[in-house]
A and B are shown apart, each in its own frame.
Chain A
Amino acid sequence: MAKASPTLEFDTDWEYSSAPESTDHIQIKPQNELFINGDFVVPSDGNYFDTINPASEKTLSKVGHATADDVDKAVKAARKAVKGPWSKMDGAERGKYIFRIARLIQEKAREFAVIESMDGGKPIRESRDVDIPLVSAHFFYYAGWADKLEYAFPGKDTTPIGVAGQIIPWNFPLLMAAWKIAPALATGNAVVLKPAETTPLTALKLAEVLQEADLPPGVVNIITGAGKTGQAIVDHPDVDKIAFTGSTEVGKMIMRAVAGTGKRYTLELGGKAANIIFEDAPIDQAVEGIVNSIFFNQGHVCCAGSRLFVQESIADTIISKLKDRMETLIIGDPLDKNTDIGAINSKMQLDKIKMYVKLGQKEGGTIHQSSYSLPKKGFWYAPTLFTDVSQSHRVVQEEIFGPVLAIQTFRTVDEVITKANNIPYGLSGGVWTDKGSKIFKISKAVRAGVVWANTFNKFDPSSPFGGYKESGMGREGGLEGLMPYVNLV
Chain B
Amino acid sequence: MITSVYIHPIDQIGAQERVARLFSRSIKKESKVHALKMALSMIDLTTLEGKDSSGKVKQLCYKASHLHDQYPDLPSVAAICVYPTMVPIAKKALEGTSINIASVATAFPSGMSSMENKLDEVKKVVDDGANEVDMVISRGKFLSGEYDYVADEISQIKDACEKAHLKVILETGELVTLDNVRLASDIALNAGADFIKTSTGKISPAATPPVVLVMLEAIRDHYKKTGKKIGMKPAGGISKAKQAIQYLVMVRETLGKDWLTPDLFRFGASSLANDVLMQIVKQSTGHYQSGNYFSID
In the complex, the answer to whether B224 meets A5 with C-beta atoms within 8 Å is yes
Contacts of B217 in A (CB 8 A): 284
In the complex, the answer to whether A320 meets B31 with C-beta atoms within 8 Å is no
Contacts of B34 in A (CB 8 A): 13-14
A selection of 17 A-B contacts at a CB cut-off of 8 Å is A5-B224, A10-B253, A10-B256, A10-B257, A13-B257, A14-B252, A17-B27, A17-B28, A17-B30, A17-B32, A280-B9, A284-B14, A284-B18, A337-B25, A434-B9, A454-B11, A454-B14
> If A14-B260, A289-B14 touch, does A8 touch B220 (CB 8 Å cutoff)?
yes
Tally of A-B Cβ pairs under 8 angstroms: 82
A283 close to chain B: CB less than 8 A = yes
B4 close to chain A: CB less than 8 A = no
In the complex, the answer to whether B14 meets A288 with C-beta atoms within 8 Å is yes
A369 to chain B, nearest CB (A): 19
A9 close to chain B: CB less than 8 A = yes
Q: Closest B-chain residue to A337, C-beta based?
A: B26
Q: Closest A-chain residue to B33, C-beta based?
A: A17
7 A-B pairs besides A10-B256, A16-B27, A129-B24 with CB distance below 8 A are A8-B258, A13-B257, A14-B248, A19-B26, A283-B8, A284-B15, A434-B9
B105 to chain A, nearest CB (A): 31
B182 to chain A, nearest CB (A): 9
In the complex, the answer to whether A282 meets B9 with C-beta atoms within 8 Å is yes
Contacts of B151 in A (CB 8 A): none
In the complex, the answer to whether B31 meets A14 with C-beta atoms within 8 Å is yes
- Tell me the B245-284 residues at the A interface (CB within 8 Å): 248, 252-253, 255-258, 260
- Tell me the B5-63 residues at the A interface (CB within 8 Å): 8-11, 13-15, 17-18, 24-32, 34-35, 38
A483 close to chain B: CB less than 8 A = no
Scoring A13, A285, A328 by chain B CB atoms within 10 A of each residue's CB, the highest score goes to A285
Residue interface bits A279-300, CB-to-B below 8 A is 1, else 0: 0111111101100000000000
In the complex, the answer to whether B24 meets A337 with C-beta atoms within 8 Å is yes
Contacts of A8 in B (CB 8 A): 220, 223, 255-256, 258
The SS class assigned to the B binding surface is: helix
Contacts of B227 in A (CB 8 A): 6
Contacts of B28 in A (CB 8 A): 17, 19
For this complex, into which size category does the number of interface residues on chain B fall?
35 or more
Contacts of B252 in A (CB 8 A): 10, 12, 14
Contacts of A14 in B (CB 8 A): 31, 34-35, 38, 248, 252, 260
- Tell me the B145-200 residues at the A interface (CB within 8 Å): none
How far, in angstroms, from A8 to B259 measured CA to CA in the complex?
Answer: 10
B178 to chain A, nearest CB (A): 9
> If A14-B38, A16-B25 touch, does A281 touch B31 (CB 8 Å cutoff)?
no
Report the 8 A-B pairs with minimum CB-CB distance, sorted nearest first. Answer: A285-B14, A19-B26, A282-B11, A17-B31, A434-B9, A12-B257, A337-B26, A285-B11
B124 to chain A, nearest CB (A): 36
A11 close to chain B: CB less than 8 A = yes
A454 to chain B, nearest CB (A): 5
Q: Closest B-chain residue to A282, C-beta based?
A: B11
A124 to chain B, nearest CB (A): 10
A125 close to chain B: CB less than 8 A = yes
- Residue in A15, A284, A338, A455 whose CB lies within 8 Å of B26: A338
How far, in angstroms, from A284 to B215 measured CA to CA in the complex?
Answer: 12
In the complex, the answer to whether B29 meets A328 with C-beta atoms within 8 Å is no
B196 to chain A, nearest CB (A): 16
How far, in angstroms, from A6 to B17 measured CA to CA in the complex?
Answer: 27
Contacts of B258 in A (CB 8 A): 8-9
Scoring A13, A280, A338, A454 by chain B CB atoms within 10 A of each residue's CB, the highest score goes to A338
How far, in angstroms, from A454 to B11 measured CA to CA in the complex?
Answer: 8
In the complex, the answer to whether B223 meets A11 with C-beta atoms within 8 Å is no
- Residue in B13, B25, B32, B256 whose CB lies within 8 Å of A338: B25
Contacts of B10 in A (CB 8 A): 282, 284-285
How far, in angstroms, from A8 to B260 measured CA to CA in the complex?
Answer: 12
> If A337-B26, A338-B25, A455-B13 touch, does A9 touch B256 (CB 8 Å cutoff)?
yes
In the complex, the answer to whether B8 meets A6 with C-beta atoms within 8 Å is no
Contacts of A454 in B (CB 8 A): 11, 13-14
B228 to chain A, nearest CB (A): 9
A184 to chain B, nearest CB (A): 33
How far, in angstroms, from A331 to B178 measured CA to CA in the complex?
Answer: 31
> If A14-B35, A283-B8 touch, does A6 touch B223 (CB 8 Å cutoff)?
yes
How far, in angstroms, from A38 to B9 measured CA to CA in the complex?
Answer: 56
How far, in angstroms, from A23 to B277 measured CA to CA in the complex?
Answer: 33
Contacts of A328 in B (CB 8 A): 253
How far, in angstroms, from A305 to B244 measured CA to CA in the complex?
Answer: 35
